[in-house]
Amino acid sequence: MSSWHAARTVVRATGLGCRRAQSVGMGVRNHRLLLLRHGETAWSTLGRHTGGTEVELTDTGRTQAELAGQLLGELELDDPIVICSPRRRTLDTAKLAGLTVNEVTGLLAEWDYGSYEGLTTPQIRESEPDWLVWTHGCPAGESVAQVNDRADSAVALALEHMSSRDVLFVSHGHFSRAVITRWVQLPLAEGSRFAMPTASIGICGFEHGVRQLAVLGLTGHPQPIAAG
């Protein structure tokens, strides 16, 4: 059974968020922010940090993107504006999902990994044993504070459009998780608690005026549970 079928019964029943959202209009509260991560790449399968490097989707990634498009079609989006990272893997994912991209912006680009571009976490930890991108950032790349600010700007952009329509971001693993974390108004370090598999969908919205994470990890393909 795909995670979509396992999760669709809780699409509007589960939530996360403990702080009262800033005052927002009813139009905003009636719309959603959706985040779609790009499909699988050769680097993503190896756990290599992929920021600005242009890496093509694998055949599996292309299929994942097509399945994501089918799921999005079932979610009955309200006149969605589609905003996409400029990386080829996100643009190709959007195209394969059947989406019309309205805006391409570096605001949704992946974390700039700087000196850690292309490396895996075990490789990085050979010289920095406790390293996590969420707490340490990346030398010659983006700091935690910089990504926090960029995620806040992405949330503000979404809220601007949500007064009249749904919003769909086509982005990347770490940055999508950063946006989700800031949507529910948690410190960016808490982003490590949210998983975002390739070509998966997260849905953010409101419940009684409180920002919530309604769904995470929605896909049209089986997703193995990562070992602890």
Known binding-site positions: 50-51, 89
Instruction: Exactly one of 31, 40, 110, 221 is catalytic; name it.
Output: 110
For tokens 């996409």, the residue is 84
38 in catalytic set: yes
31 in catalytic set: no
Instruction: Exactly one of 31, 38, 49, 161 is catalytic; name it.
Output: 38
Annotated binding site for substrate: 50-51, 89
Residues with catalytic function: 38, 110
